[in-house]
Amino acid sequence: MNKKILLVCFLGLFLLANVQNALALGITPGRTTINFEPGLHQEVSFSIINSGHKDMSVVFMIRGEMNESVTLNQLYAEFNASEESKSFTYAVDLPQRIETPGKHEIEIVAVEMPKDLEEIGMVVGATLSVVTQLYIYVPYPNKYVEADVNVVESGGEITFLIPVVSRGKLDIVNMEAKIDVYSWSDEKVTSLVSNSDSLLSLERKELVAKWKPEVAPGKYKAVVNVVYDEDVSTIEKEFNVGEMFLEIRELVVKDFQLGEIAKFSALVENKWSNDLKDVYLNIIVYNNEGETMADFKSPTYDIGSLSQEEMIAYWDTGGVHKGTYDGKLILRYGEKATERNIQLKISDDKIEIIGITGNVVVRGSKFNLTNILLIGVGVLIAVNIVWFVIIRKLLKKR
């Protein structure tokens, strides 16, 4: 009986300890790629990241169709809390021949374990493991490319970076990417063509196309056709143009009596060309000491694309005195939030809200680096001219 109680206490304590400590584990690189060569021997290194900064053990395993081609130099490792990361290696020994062309995948799995596992004997609670993948590419006998697309938005311009890798034994004489951009409602917005280039067998190159979008902010889809000699490889990617943006057009309190429930009515505009779901308003009011006096929220609303919606939030003003209070108006949508500092002037029958439509203009200093340099050079030239003229005059006098 005592043993049972001890075991339950022990398990309970361990469970508590396990839950209190967050689990965290990382591995880098997430993927290593090797092009097949008969009988290739290669050492590949990877690192385990102790992102939780704690004492732990890590057990390694190998999985996959060609797992016999990989030998781990170490099957188990221990980490101290002070150790940020540790490097390990595995050896890859490829056979003389692999029948099937294409990708062959092997996984090296790192499983996090408690450091004192041998003493505890078992793990209670969630466990984490991370994988570093080894992709072995056996070349296709013909022309074959694999492509991806990365979309970078900067300075109002969209850049489509299209890495293209030749996975065939034959060189590609000419390739280019044709990109069709579609709106969320599947209407074609624009068509673009990248630069063209050649590609040697097993080589990697990037194709680039640029687009200055003159469309409403929102989600779009790029359909990228990489045309290489007589073949095509198609990829699709969703991307954003601009930022998800909601604007508070107006915030008013109608028919107010101090001590009763105040109805805050906000007119909110969705400037994003997609519907936004679960949007809500959060109003925080601070007292004169800066402490939170009230914190109230509206229900959640779905706001259609490029449209306006009235959002309502209620505040019970029982016990609230007349006066001017600082506050904060937060509009939350997804992981984003629009925040405004406001002031509430509360009287017996009115709440006036200041700070909703006011604009703050930040005036940039004109003394940037260019101006400083130009002024510096100008002053130097002027000083030199004056100096030169004075010396010349003195010399003439002599």
Beta-bridged to residue 57, according to DSSP, are 78, 113
Q: Which residue's structure tokens are 């781990």?
A: 72
Residues numbered 33 to 62 that lie near other proteins (CB under 8 A) are 49, 51-52
Using rule CB under 8 A, residue 82 touches other proteins: no
Give the torsion through C-alpha atoms of 11, 12, 14, 19, to 10 deg.
140
Which residue type sits at 360?
A: V
Residues numbered 188 to 207 that lie near other proteins (CB under 8 A) are 195, 206
Among 10, 13, 17, 31, the residue binding other proteins under the rule CB under 8 A is: 31
Radius of gyration of the chain from its Cα atoms, rounded to whole angstroms: 33
Among 130, 216, 294, 330, the residue binding other proteins under the rule CB under 8 A is: 130
Residue 262's CB is within 10 A of a number of other CB atoms, namely 23
Shortest Cβ 79–other proteins spacing (Å)? 15
Using rule CB under 8 A, residue 233 touches other proteins: no
Give Cα 204 to chain centroid, integer Å: 26
Q: Which residues of 126-137 are buried (b: 16+ CB within 10 A; e: fewer)?
A: eeeebebbbebb
Q: Pick the piece of the chain touching other proteins (CB under 8 A) from 65-73, 91-99, 124-132, 342-350.
A: 124-132
Which residues, at least 6 apart from 389, have a Cβ–Cβ distance to it below 8 Å? none
Using rule CB under 8 A, residue 81 touches other proteins: no
Among 9, 11, 75, 152, the residue binding other proteins under the rule CB under 8 A is: 152
Which residues, at least 6 apart from 134, have a Cβ–Cβ distance to it below 8 Å? 31, 32, 34, 44, 64, 70, 92, 105, 106, 107, 108
Using rule CB under 8 A, residue 109 touches other proteins: yes
Shortest Cβ 84–other proteins spacing (Å)? 11
Residues numbered 337 to 396 that lie near other proteins (CB under 8 A) are 369-370, 372-373, 376-377, 380-381, 384, 387-388, 391-392, 395
Positions touching other proteins (CB under 8 A) are: 19-20, 22-31, 49, 51-52, 107, 109, 124-133, 148, 150, 152-155, 157, 159, 161, 163, 195, 206, 208, 210, 369-370, 372-373, 376-377, 380-381, 384, 387-388, 391-392, 395
